[in-house]
Amino acid sequence: MTLLDIFTRLEEMWIGEAIRTSYWLFPFIEAIHLVGLALLGGTVLVVDFRLLGITLRSQSMQVVLRNTRPYFLLALGTMFATGIPLALSEMIKLYYNFSWWVKVSALGLAILFTFLVRDPLVRRGEAPRMAMGCIALVSLALWFTVAGAGRWIGFS
């Protein structure tokens, strides 16, 4: 069984069919997906801009991370809960879409980087300011790649 066969079977699932044949379901789920994106983007910007020393300088990095964490997790959960059904409705199209592969790859890297590098270093608070700035820039680059590639899927 090839990867294309797997994508074909996923697209043939009842949920993909329901979304594809409904007039309003895809745009409704997409709207919720975009709200999740806005919330996720906001939390990433707040934390990373704090690491860069641009905003919230009176708050410690740890406090900013702790305060944004529930919203980040909610947004990430929302993005997965809506993104998976959206993808299931057009798996064959996505299989051939380079932007989708970029988005999924960047998403995996961004999640790993956030949970395994950025957040642990922020919680410890021991990294030099320059290192924290570099970490913020990598984080921003990864998340902007996810968002940009996701947007580009619609143009492909």
29-33, 61-65, 124-128, 143-147: the lowest-pLDDT one: 124-128
Domain membership of residue 155 (yes or no) is: no
Write down the pLDDT at residue 126. Answer: 73
Domain membership of residue 156 (yes or no) is: no
Mark 20-36 as b/e (b = at least 16 C-beta within 10 Å).
eeeeebbeebeeebeeb
Q: Which domain holds residue 90?
A: 3-150
Write down the pLDDT at residue 87. Answer: 94
Average pLDDT over the chain, rounded to whole? Answer: 93
Write down the pLDDT at residue 156. Answer: 74
Residue 67 pLDDT exceeds 90: yes
Domain membership of residue 93 (yes or no) is: yes
C-alpha 148/C-alpha 20 separation (Å) is: 24
In the chain, how many domains are there? 1
- Look up the pTM and report it: 0.90
